[in-house]
Protein backbone atom coordinates (compact mmCIF):
# COMPACT_ATOMS: atom_id res chain seq x y z
CA UNK A 1 0.00 0.00 0.00
CA UNK A 2 1.29 3.43 -0.97
CA UNK A 3 -0.41 5.61 1.62
CA UNK A 4 0.54 8.82 -0.16
CA UNK A 5 -1.87 7.92 -2.99
CA UNK A 6 -4.87 7.85 -0.65
CA UNK A 7 -7.38 10.68 -1.14
CA UNK A 8 -9.09 10.47 2.24
CA UNK A 9 -7.57 9.75 5.65
CA UNK A 10 -9.74 9.17 8.70
CA UNK A 11 -8.42 9.00 12.28
CA UNK A 12 -10.07 7.16 15.17
CA UNK A 13 -8.65 8.84 18.26
CA UNK A 14 -7.58 11.93 16.32
CA UNK A 15 -7.06 14.00 19.49
CA UNK A 16 -4.06 11.97 20.64
CA UNK A 17 -0.78 13.85 20.40
CA UNK A 18 0.76 11.34 17.99
CA UNK A 19 -2.40 10.95 15.93
CA UNK A 20 -2.90 14.70 15.57
CA UNK A 21 0.58 15.22 14.11
CA UNK A 22 -0.14 12.59 11.46
CA UNK A 23 -3.54 14.18 10.77
CA UNK A 24 -1.81 17.53 10.24
CA UNK A 25 0.74 15.87 7.97
CA UNK A 26 -1.86 14.33 5.65
CA UNK A 27 -3.88 17.56 5.69
CA UNK A 28 -0.76 19.41 4.54
CA UNK A 29 -0.50 16.93 1.65
CA UNK A 30 -3.92 18.01 0.36
CA UNK A 31 -5.84 14.95 1.60
CA UNK A 32 -9.36 15.17 3.00
CA UNK A 33 -8.81 14.51 6.71
CA UNK A 34 -11.20 14.00 9.59
CA UNK A 35 -11.89 11.76 12.51
CA UNK A 36 -13.41 10.84 15.85
CA UNK A 37 -12.33 11.42 19.41
CA UNK A 38 -14.00 10.83 22.75
CA UNK A 39 -13.82 14.40 24.05
CA UNK A 40 -13.21 17.89 22.71
CA UNK A 41 -9.90 19.42 23.81
CA UNK A 42 -7.77 22.43 22.97
CA UNK A 43 -5.88 20.21 20.54
CA UNK A 44 -8.99 19.02 18.70
CA UNK A 45 -10.26 22.60 18.54
CA UNK A 46 -7.02 23.68 16.90
CA UNK A 47 -7.32 20.86 14.35
CA UNK A 48 -10.86 21.98 13.50
CA UNK A 49 -9.63 25.56 13.06
CA UNK A 50 -7.08 24.21 10.56
CA UNK A 51 -9.87 22.64 8.49
CA UNK A 52 -9.97 19.09 9.85
CA UNK A 53 -13.47 17.72 10.57
CA UNK A 54 -13.92 16.07 14.00
CA UNK A 55 -16.90 14.60 15.85
CA UNK A 56 -17.25 13.13 19.35
CA UNK A 57 -19.66 10.15 19.22
CA UNK A 58 -18.49 6.87 17.73
CA UNK A 59 -21.50 6.08 15.53
CA UNK A 60 -21.51 9.18 13.37
CA UNK A 61 -19.13 8.51 10.48
CA UNK A 62 -19.40 11.39 7.97
CA UNK A 63 -20.83 10.73 4.52
CA UNK A 64 -17.59 11.62 2.75
CA UNK A 65 -15.96 8.65 4.48
CA UNK A 66 -18.94 6.27 4.35
CA UNK A 67 -19.11 6.73 0.58
CA UNK A 68 -15.35 6.78 0.01
CA UNK A 69 -13.58 4.55 -2.50
CA UNK A 70 -12.05 1.85 -0.28
CA UNK A 71 -8.96 1.68 -2.48
CA UNK A 72 -8.28 5.41 -2.09
CA UNK A 73 -8.98 5.85 1.60
CA UNK A 74 -7.11 5.06 4.78
CA UNK A 75 -8.33 4.59 8.36
CA UNK A 76 -5.79 5.13 11.15
CA UNK A 77 -6.39 4.18 14.77
CA UNK A 78 -4.47 4.30 18.02
CA UNK A 79 -4.03 1.29 20.34
CA UNK A 80 -5.87 3.30 23.00
CA UNK A 81 -9.09 2.74 21.01
CA UNK A 82 -10.94 -0.41 22.19
CA UNK A 83 -11.93 -3.08 19.69
CA UNK A 84 -15.56 -2.42 20.68
CA UNK A 85 -15.46 1.06 19.13
CA UNK A 86 -18.34 1.18 16.62
CA UNK A 87 -16.44 3.07 13.94
CA UNK A 88 -13.39 0.80 14.13
CA UNK A 89 -15.66 -2.26 13.83
CA UNK A 90 -17.44 -0.77 10.81
CA UNK A 91 -14.27 0.03 8.88
CA UNK A 92 -12.73 -3.39 9.60
CA UNK A 93 -15.89 -5.21 8.56
CA UNK A 94 -16.35 -3.23 5.34
CA UNK A 95 -13.03 -3.66 3.57
CA UNK A 96 -11.29 -0.36 4.30
CA UNK A 97 -7.52 -0.05 4.64
CA UNK A 98 -7.20 0.05 8.45
CA UNK A 99 -3.78 0.62 10.06
CA UNK A 100 -2.42 1.41 13.49
CA UNK A 101 -0.73 4.78 13.89
CA UNK A 102 2.71 3.14 14.21
CA UNK A 103 2.33 1.35 10.86
CA UNK A 104 1.44 4.60 9.13
CA UNK A 105 4.34 6.47 10.72
CA UNK A 106 6.66 3.67 9.57
CA UNK A 107 5.38 3.95 6.01
CA UNK A 108 5.62 7.75 5.98
CA UNK A 109 9.26 7.68 7.14
CA UNK A 110 10.53 4.57 5.33
CA UNK A 111 12.33 6.48 2.56
CA UNK A 112 13.66 9.28 4.77
CA UNK A 113 16.78 9.63 6.91
CA UNK A 114 14.96 8.86 10.15
CA UNK A 115 16.12 9.96 13.60
CA UNK A 116 14.09 8.10 16.24
CA UNK A 117 14.11 9.12 19.90
CA UNK A 118 13.00 6.36 22.30
CA UNK A 119 12.93 5.87 26.06
CA UNK A 120 10.57 5.71 28.99
CA UNK A 121 11.13 9.39 29.75
CA UNK A 122 12.62 12.35 27.95
CA UNK A 123 11.80 11.41 24.38
CA UNK A 124 9.35 14.27 23.79
CA UNK A 125 11.66 17.02 25.06
CA UNK A 126 14.68 15.47 23.33
CA UNK A 127 12.99 15.03 19.95
CA UNK A 128 11.50 18.54 20.08
CA UNK A 129 14.81 20.15 21.08
CA UNK A 130 16.65 18.08 18.47
CA UNK A 131 14.32 19.23 15.69
CA UNK A 132 14.60 22.84 16.91
CA UNK A 133 18.42 22.79 16.91
CA UNK A 134 18.52 21.17 13.45
CA UNK A 135 16.36 23.92 12.01
CA UNK A 136 18.30 26.63 13.84
CA UNK A 137 21.45 25.23 12.21
CA UNK A 138 19.74 25.34 8.79
CA UNK A 139 19.50 21.55 8.61
CA UNK A 140 15.86 21.24 7.60
CA UNK A 141 13.72 18.39 8.88
CA UNK A 142 10.20 17.12 9.20
CA UNK A 143 9.30 16.24 12.80
CA UNK A 144 6.45 14.22 14.28
CA UNK A 145 6.53 15.28 17.93
CA UNK A 146 4.92 13.84 21.06
CA UNK A 147 4.16 17.29 22.44
CA UNK A 148 3.42 20.82 21.30
CA UNK A 149 6.60 22.85 20.85
CA UNK A 150 6.47 26.22 22.60
CA UNK A 151 8.76 27.67 19.93
CA UNK A 152 6.52 26.60 17.05
CA UNK A 153 3.14 26.07 18.79
CA UNK A 154 2.62 22.78 16.95
CA UNK A 155 3.54 19.09 17.13
CA UNK A 156 4.35 18.83 13.41
CA UNK A 157 7.20 20.49 11.55
CA UNK A 158 7.31 20.19 7.77
CA UNK A 159 10.54 20.25 5.79
CA UNK A 160 10.90 22.56 2.82
CA UNK A 161 14.08 20.86 1.67
CA UNK A 162 16.08 17.75 2.51
CA UNK A 163 14.91 14.34 3.64
CA UNK A 164 15.49 14.19 7.42
CA UNK A 165 12.63 13.10 9.68
CA UNK A 166 12.63 13.25 13.49
CA UNK A 167 10.13 10.98 15.25
CA UNK A 168 9.29 10.11 18.81
CA UNK A 169 9.54 6.31 18.98
CA UNK A 170 6.83 4.98 21.30
CA UNK A 171 7.39 1.67 23.09
CA UNK A 172 3.70 1.20 23.96
CA UNK A 173 2.25 -1.77 22.08
CA UNK A 174 5.81 -2.24 20.71
CA UNK A 175 4.92 0.47 18.20
CA UNK A 176 8.50 1.55 17.54
CA UNK A 177 9.30 -1.81 15.95
CA UNK A 178 7.45 -0.52 12.86
CA UNK A 179 10.19 2.06 12.26
CA UNK A 180 13.38 1.67 10.22
CA UNK A 181 15.64 4.36 11.71
CA UNK A 182 19.07 5.56 10.61
CA UNK A 183 19.91 7.09 13.98
CA UNK A 184 18.42 6.12 17.34
CA UNK A 185 18.60 7.91 20.68
CA UNK A 186 17.61 5.94 23.80
CA UNK A 187 17.06 8.32 26.71
CA UNK A 188 16.03 6.02 29.58
CA UNK A 189 14.89 2.50 30.37
CA UNK A 190 12.61 2.33 33.41
CA UNK A 191 9.95 -0.38 33.03
CA UNK A 192 6.50 0.89 32.06
CA UNK A 193 3.37 -0.37 30.28
CA UNK A 194 3.56 -3.69 32.10
CA UNK A 195 0.09 -4.45 30.74
CA UNK A 196 1.91 -4.95 27.42
CA UNK A 197 5.25 -6.46 28.47
CA UNK A 198 5.55 -9.76 30.35
CA UNK A 199 8.21 -8.50 32.75
CA UNK A 200 11.25 -6.22 32.95
CA UNK A 201 13.33 -8.64 30.88
CA UNK A 202 10.74 -8.54 28.08
CA UNK A 203 10.67 -4.74 28.29
CA UNK A 204 14.47 -4.52 27.98
CA UNK A 205 14.59 -7.12 25.19
CA UNK A 206 12.06 -5.10 23.17
CA UNK A 207 14.27 -2.01 23.37
CA UNK A 208 17.25 -4.12 22.29
CA UNK A 209 15.18 -5.37 19.35
CA UNK A 210 14.34 -1.78 18.43
CA UNK A 211 18.01 -0.80 18.58
CA UNK A 212 18.82 -3.67 16.18
CA UNK A 213 16.51 -2.05 13.62
CA UNK A 214 19.06 0.72 13.02
CA UNK A 215 20.06 0.57 9.37
CA UNK A 216 23.52 -0.29 8.06
CA UNK A 217 26.10 2.40 8.84
CA UNK A 218 23.64 3.82 11.35
CA UNK A 219 24.23 5.39 14.75
CA UNK A 220 22.99 4.41 18.22
CA UNK A 221 23.25 7.01 21.02
CA UNK A 222 22.45 5.66 24.49
CA UNK A 223 22.19 7.30 27.90
CA UNK A 224 25.17 6.03 29.91
CA UNK A 225 22.90 5.35 32.91
CA UNK A 226 21.23 2.48 31.02
CA UNK A 227 22.86 -0.74 32.20
CA UNK A 228 21.88 -3.23 29.50
CA UNK A 229 23.96 -4.03 26.42
CA UNK A 230 23.07 -2.98 22.89
CA UNK A 231 24.51 -4.35 19.65
CA UNK A 232 26.62 -2.02 17.54
CA UNK A 233 24.75 -1.26 14.26
CA UNK A 234 26.19 -3.11 11.25
CA UNK A 235 29.09 -1.02 9.91
CA UNK A 236 27.84 1.71 12.22
CA UNK A 237 28.62 3.27 15.60
CA UNK A 238 27.38 3.34 19.17
CA UNK A 239 27.98 6.30 21.51
CA UNK A 240 26.98 7.19 25.07
CA UNK A 241 26.02 10.45 26.78
CA UNK A 242 25.57 11.61 30.36
CA UNK A 243 25.17 14.65 32.59
CA UNK A 244 27.33 13.37 35.44
CA UNK A 245 29.42 10.31 34.53
CA UNK A 246 32.14 9.71 31.93
CA UNK A 247 30.68 9.17 28.46
CA UNK A 248 31.37 9.97 24.81
CA UNK A 249 29.31 13.14 25.18
CA UNK A 250 29.13 14.48 28.71
CA UNK A 251 28.29 17.58 30.70
CA UNK A 252 30.21 18.90 33.64
CA UNK A 253 30.32 22.02 35.82
CA UNK A 254 26.52 22.15 36.12
CA UNK A 255 25.30 25.28 37.88
CA UNK A 256 22.33 27.63 38.22
CA UNK A 257 22.65 31.21 37.04
CA UNK A 258 19.71 33.63 37.19
CA UNK A 259 17.17 30.80 37.17
CA UNK A 260 18.69 28.99 34.18
CA UNK A 261 20.91 25.91 34.05
CA UNK A 262 24.44 26.39 32.78
CA UNK A 263 26.87 23.62 31.89
CA UNK A 264 29.96 22.79 29.87
CA UNK A 265 30.13 19.83 27.47
CA UNK A 266 32.94 17.49 26.43
CA UNK A 267 33.02 15.68 23.09
CA UNK A 268 34.49 12.18 23.36
CA UNK A 269 37.80 11.28 21.78
CA UNK A 270 38.47 14.79 20.47
CA UNK A 271 38.00 16.09 24.03
CA UNK A 272 36.65 19.29 22.46
CA UNK A 273 34.82 21.40 25.04
CA UNK A 274 31.86 23.75 24.70
CA UNK A 275 31.58 26.21 27.56
CA UNK A 276 28.73 28.10 29.22
CA UNK A 277 25.78 26.38 27.53
CA UNK A 278 22.54 27.95 28.74
CA UNK A 279 19.37 25.89 29.15
CA UNK A 280 16.08 27.37 30.36
CA UNK A 281 14.63 23.97 31.30
CA UNK A 282 15.31 22.81 34.90
CA UNK A 283 16.64 19.48 36.13
CA UNK A 284 19.62 17.26 35.42
CA UNK A 285 17.39 15.10 33.20
CA UNK A 286 16.90 18.06 30.86
CA UNK A 287 20.66 18.62 30.69
CA UNK A 288 20.91 15.03 29.46
CA UNK A 289 18.12 15.65 26.92
CA UNK A 290 20.09 18.67 25.68
CA UNK A 291 23.37 16.73 25.45
CA UNK A 292 21.74 14.00 23.35
CA UNK A 293 20.19 16.57 21.01
CA UNK A 294 23.44 18.53 20.67
CA UNK A 295 25.42 15.35 19.99
CA UNK A 296 23.10 14.29 17.16
CA UNK A 297 23.15 17.70 15.49
CA UNK A 298 26.94 17.85 15.71
CA UNK A 299 27.10 14.44 13.97
CA UNK A 300 24.94 15.84 11.17
CA UNK A 301 27.17 18.85 10.61
CA UNK A 302 25.71 21.52 12.88
CA UNK A 303 28.14 24.25 13.91
CA UNK A 304 28.89 24.48 17.64
CA UNK A 305 28.20 28.22 17.79
CA UNK A 306 24.73 27.75 16.30
CA UNK A 307 24.01 24.72 18.49
CA UNK A 308 24.74 26.71 21.67
CA UNK A 309 22.54 29.60 20.52
CA UNK A 310 19.71 27.21 19.70
CA UNK A 311 19.77 25.51 23.12
CA UNK A 312 19.68 28.91 24.85
CA UNK A 313 16.58 29.97 22.89
CA UNK A 314 14.64 26.73 23.28
CA UNK A 315 11.34 27.35 25.10
CA UNK A 316 10.42 23.76 25.85
CA UNK A 317 7.28 21.71 25.27
CA UNK A 318 3.77 22.33 26.52
CA UNK A 319 3.06 20.50 29.80
CA UNK A 320 6.75 19.79 30.37
CA UNK A 321 7.48 21.96 33.40
CA UNK A 322 5.22 24.85 32.37
CA UNK A 323 5.86 27.50 35.00
CA UNK A 324 3.66 30.46 35.93
CA UNK A 325 4.26 33.11 38.59
CA UNK A 326 1.57 35.23 40.20
CA UNK A 327 3.14 37.66 42.66
CA UNK A 328 4.59 35.36 45.33
CA UNK A 329 2.61 32.31 44.15
CA UNK A 330 4.27 29.80 41.79
CA UNK A 331 2.33 27.27 39.72
CA UNK A 332 4.02 24.46 37.75
CA UNK A 333 2.27 21.98 35.47
CA UNK A 334 3.99 18.84 34.18
CA UNK A 335 3.08 15.69 32.25
CA UNK A 336 5.00 13.40 34.67
CA UNK A 337 3.03 10.17 35.18
CA UNK A 338 5.73 7.58 35.99
CA UNK A 339 7.50 7.38 39.39
CA UNK A 340 10.89 8.25 37.91
CA UNK A 341 9.45 11.24 36.05
CA UNK A 342 7.76 12.50 39.21
CA UNK A 343 11.00 12.12 41.14
CA UNK A 344 13.00 14.05 38.52
CA UNK A 345 10.40 16.83 38.39
CA UNK A 346 10.23 17.24 42.17
CA UNK A 347 14.03 17.24 42.51
CA UNK A 348 14.16 20.02 39.92
CA UNK A 349 11.49 22.03 41.76
CA UNK A 350 13.24 21.55 45.10
CA UNK A 351 16.47 22.77 43.53
CA UNK A 352 14.74 25.92 42.24
CA UNK A 353 12.73 26.62 45.42
CA UNK A 354 14.65 25.01 48.31
CA UNK A 355 12.92 26.98 51.07
CA UNK A 356 9.34 26.79 49.81
CA UNK A 357 6.53 24.41 50.71
CA UNK A 358 5.70 22.26 47.68
CA UNK A 359 2.13 21.07 47.17
CA UNK A 360 1.61 18.36 44.55
CA UNK A 361 -1.71 17.55 42.88
CA UNK A 362 -1.36 14.20 41.12
CA UNK A 363 -3.79 12.33 38.88
CA UNK A 364 -2.66 8.69 38.51
CA UNK A 365 -2.84 7.44 34.91
CA UNK A 366 -4.11 3.87 34.34
CA UNK A 367 -5.19 1.31 36.93
CA UNK A 368 -2.51 -1.14 35.77
CA UNK A 369 0.34 1.37 36.11
CA UNK A 370 -0.90 2.39 39.57
CA UNK A 371 -1.03 -1.26 40.62
CA UNK A 372 2.35 -2.18 39.16
CA UNK A 373 4.25 0.78 40.63
CA UNK A 374 2.25 1.71 43.73
CA UNK A 375 5.25 1.55 46.08
CA UNK A 376 7.45 3.53 43.66
CA UNK A 377 4.73 6.16 43.19
CA UNK A 378 4.42 6.48 46.97
CA UNK A 379 8.16 7.03 47.37
CA UNK A 380 8.29 9.69 44.66
CA UNK A 381 5.19 11.53 45.86
CA UNK A 382 6.54 11.54 49.42
CA UNK A 383 9.16 14.05 48.20
CA UNK A 384 6.43 16.72 48.32
CA UNK A 385 5.40 18.60 51.45
CA UNK A 386 1.69 18.21 50.74
CA UNK A 387 -0.10 15.80 48.42
CA UNK A 388 -3.57 16.01 46.90
CA UNK A 389 -4.58 12.92 44.94
CA UNK A 390 -7.27 12.89 42.28
CA UNK A 391 -9.02 9.71 41.18
CA UNK A 392 -7.23 7.46 38.69
CA UNK A 393 -7.64 8.42 35.04
CA UNK A 394 -8.64 5.13 33.38
CA UNK A 395 -7.85 6.00 29.73
CA UNK A 396 -8.34 2.70 27.86
CA UNK A 397 -8.74 0.53 30.98
CA UNK A 398 -11.54 -0.81 33.15
CA UNK A 399 -11.24 -0.62 36.96
CA UNK A 400 -9.13 -3.23 38.77
CA UNK A 401 -10.45 -4.48 42.09
CA UNK A 402 -8.57 -2.96 45.02
CA UNK A 403 -6.67 -0.46 42.87
CA UNK A 404 -7.68 3.14 43.48
CA UNK A 405 -6.27 6.43 44.70
CA UNK A 406 -7.17 5.63 48.29
CA UNK A 407 -4.88 2.58 48.13
CA UNK A 408 -2.05 4.70 46.74
CA UNK A 409 -2.59 7.46 49.30
CA UNK A 410 -2.24 4.97 52.17
CA UNK A 411 1.32 4.18 51.02
CA UNK A 412 2.51 7.80 50.86
CA UNK A 413 4.69 8.82 53.82
CA UNK A 414 3.35 12.33 54.38
CA UNK A 415 1.32 13.86 57.17
CA UNK A 416 -0.40 16.31 54.84
CA UNK A 417 -2.16 14.17 52.23
CA UNK A 418 -5.75 13.74 51.05
CA UNK A 419 -8.06 12.75 48.22
CA UNK A 420 -10.06 15.39 46.37
CA UNK A 421 -12.33 15.77 43.41
CA UNK A 422 -11.40 18.36 40.80
CA UNK A 423 -14.25 20.57 41.93
CA UNK A 424 -13.17 20.39 45.58
CA UNK A 425 -9.58 21.16 44.57
CA UNK A 426 -10.54 24.34 42.73
CA UNK A 427 -12.64 25.50 45.68
CA UNK A 428 -9.80 24.74 48.09
CA UNK A 429 -7.34 26.75 45.99
CA UNK A 430 -9.64 29.77 46.17
CA UNK A 431 -9.45 29.88 49.94
CA UNK A 432 -5.98 28.45 50.66
CA UNK A 433 -2.80 29.79 49.10
CA UNK A 434 0.13 27.49 48.32
CA UNK A 435 3.52 29.06 47.69
CA UNK A 436 4.47 26.37 45.13
CA UNK A 437 1.66 24.37 43.53
CA UNK A 438 2.43 21.52 41.12
CA UNK A 439 -0.06 19.58 38.97
CA UNK A 440 1.21 16.25 37.59
CA UNK A 441 -0.33 13.62 35.33
CA UNK A 442 -1.03 12.44 31.79
CA UNK A 443 -4.83 12.18 31.96
CA UNK A 444 -7.29 15.07 31.78
CA UNK A 445 -5.65 17.00 34.63
CA UNK A 446 -4.54 19.46 31.94
CA UNK A 447 -8.14 20.73 31.92
CA UNK A 448 -7.44 22.23 35.36
CA UNK A 449 -4.55 24.41 34.17
CA UNK A 450 -6.59 27.37 32.95
CA UNK A 451 -9.02 27.36 35.93
CA UNK A 452 -6.07 27.25 38.34
CA UNK A 453 -4.32 30.10 36.51
CA UNK A 454 -7.54 32.13 36.71
CA UNK A 455 -7.80 31.54 40.46
CA UNK A 456 -4.17 32.56 40.97
CA UNK A 457 -4.60 35.70 38.84
CA UNK A 458 -7.45 36.75 41.09
Domains and CATH numbers, the chain: 3-101 (3.40.50.720), 110-313 (3.40.1190.10), 322-457 (3.90.190.20)
- Burial status of residue 133 (CB atoms within 10 A of its CB: 0-12, 13-18, 19 or more): buried
What length does the chain have?
458
In a structure prediction context, what are the per-residue pLDDT tens digits for the chain, which is 458 residues long?
Answer: 576 778 999 999 999 999 999 999 999 999 999 999 988 988 999 999 999 999 998 888 999 999 999 889 999 999 888 888 999 999 999 999 999 999 999 999 989 999 999 999 999 999 999 999 999 999 999 999 999 999 999 999 999 888 999 999 999 889 999 999 999 999 999 888 877 888 999 999 999 999 999 999 999 999 999 999 999 999 999 999 999 899 999 999 999 888 889 999 998 767 789 999 999 999 999 999 999 999 999 999 999 999 999 999 999 999 999 999 998 899 999 999 999 999 999 999 999 999 999 999 999 999 999 999 999 999 999 999 999 999 999 988 899 999 999 999 999 999 999 999 999 999 999 999 899 999 999 999 999 999 999 999 98
Q: What is this structure's pTM?
A: 0.91
User: How many Cα atoms occupy the beta-carbon half-sphere of 427 within 13 Å?
Assistant: 5
Say how many C-beta atoms besides its own lie within 10 A of residue 127's C-beta. 30
Amino acid sequence: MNILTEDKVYFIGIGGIGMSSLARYFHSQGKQVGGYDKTETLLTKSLVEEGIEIHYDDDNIPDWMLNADHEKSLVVYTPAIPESNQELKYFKQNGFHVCKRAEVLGLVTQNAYTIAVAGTHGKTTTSTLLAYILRFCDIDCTAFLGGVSNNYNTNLLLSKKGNIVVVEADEYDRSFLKLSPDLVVITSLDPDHMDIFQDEADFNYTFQAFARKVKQKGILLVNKQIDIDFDVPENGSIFTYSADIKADFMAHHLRLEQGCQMFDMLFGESNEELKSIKLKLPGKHNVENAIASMAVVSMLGGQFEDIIKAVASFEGVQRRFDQYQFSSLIYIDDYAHHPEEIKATLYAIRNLYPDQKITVVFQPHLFSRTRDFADEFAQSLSLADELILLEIYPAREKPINGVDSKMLLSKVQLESKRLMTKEALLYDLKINNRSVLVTLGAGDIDQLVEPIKSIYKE
